[in-house]
Amino acid sequence: MNKRRINIRKLVAAILWLMAGVAVLVLLVAAIRSGNDANCSGVTISIKGSRKFSFLNKSDVIRLMGSETTADLKGKSTLSFDLSSMEERISANSWVADVELFFDNDRVLQVQVEEREPIARLFTRSGNSWYLDSSGKYLPLSPGKPPVKLPVFTGMPEKLKPAQVSDSTLLSHIKAISNVLYNDEFWSAQITQVDVTAGNEFELVPLVGRHIILFGNGNSCDKKFSRLAVFYRNVLAHTGFDYYSAINIKFDQQVIGVRGDAISTSVEKKIMPVTFADTSLSVISNRPAVPDPASAKSQPERKTVKDPTPVRTAAIRQPKAVMSKVNN
């Protein structure tokens, strides 16, 4: 008798749990149907970018979604939105790096767009012009929008293939140089363009001075710009910015000033800032100086020496850059 009572109790409990589960399932299905049958209550568009300029605005995104204004979407049934298709249409734009569309709990359509980041303005060897983003993608210029001030690289190949080692290395070097030119106020103003040679090395063209800066590859980029800053402050400040036709900073702890026929000249230095105090410079000149009447007062005293060996200074607070005679 007791066993029968226990079995009945278990059966009743199982039936009650089953009924509760069915009720929860019905409520859940009803809620889902209610949500699916609801209307869009609004549209929120967010565009993320890391720089101060943008090539996409909210109106552009709305048009990519197939509408003219957000009012066209508000009030429509959420079931009528093909979110995957809308994401594909937005992603087709060259300036879109990533996009995600979804409805939140308030039935607001959230459109989250990540914009590509241009790091340089390019001119290819055939004369075409593009922007370059951080992933190596060539981005088209945007008609009707003002040009953006970015470092300019000329002599670029028609297309970069980041999967190839050579192009991947070139891209990383462009990023490094562009980062300095974009963020440093002085170099941003002084360097007007960067020429890419056939060997994927860089030649910098300055705004002030008739010299070319032979940069080499993009390795040790910050150190090269630091050496060049030392040379500008402590040599060209005395000789004038037109004294050399080329300045070579390819080699570690060395700056080579290129002229013509050989002389040796000593240029006294002022005390350098602490940030440059550990830089030793060896400066070689191979052409006699021609005095410039307009800047005669600022020209340092020069004298010929017999020893043609370049002199490398020690890393002290008052290093000297010595230009030594080179035998041709």
270-287 pLDDT per residue, tens: 323 333 333 445 555 454
Neighbours of 33 (CB within 10 A): 10
Q: What is the pLDDT of residue 145?
A: 73
Q: What is the CATH number of domain 42-115?
A: 3.10.20.310
Give me the pLDDT at residue 211, please. 93
Spatial distance between the Cα atoms of 78 and 41, rounded to a whole number of angstroms: 9
| Weakest-pLDDT range from 36-40, 155-159, 231-235, 316-320 | 316-320
Predicted confidence (pLDDT) per residue in 168-193, tens digit: 999 999 999 999 999 999 999 999 99
Let me know: does 243 contact 293? Beta carbons within 8 Å: no
Write the pLDDT tens digit of every residue in 291-308.
Answer: 444 443 444 444 333 433
- pLDDT band per the 50, 70, 90 thresholds, residue 117: confident
> What is the residue extent of each domain of the chain?
42-115, 208-324
- Burial class of 191 by CB neighbour count within 10 A (0 to 12, 13 to 18, 19+): buried
Predicted local confidence at residue 67, as pLDDT: 87
- CA dist 257 and 217 (Å) reads 18
SS3 readout for the chain:
CHHHHHHHHHHHHHHHHHHHHHHHHHHHHHHHHHHHCCECCEEEEEEECCCCCCCCCHHHHHHHCCCCCHHHCCCCEHHHCCHHHHHHHHHCCCCEEEEEEEECCCCEEEEEEEECCEEEEEEECCCCEEEEECCCCEECCCCCCCCCCCCEEEEECCCCCCCCHHHHHHHHHHHHHHHHHHHCHHHHHHEEEEEECCCCCEEEEECCCCCEEEEECCCCHHHHHHHHHHHHHHHHHHHCCCCCCEEECCCCCCCEEECCCCCCEEECCCCCCHHHCCCCCCEECCCCCCCCHHHHHHCCCCCCCCCCCCCCCCCCCCCCEEEECCCC
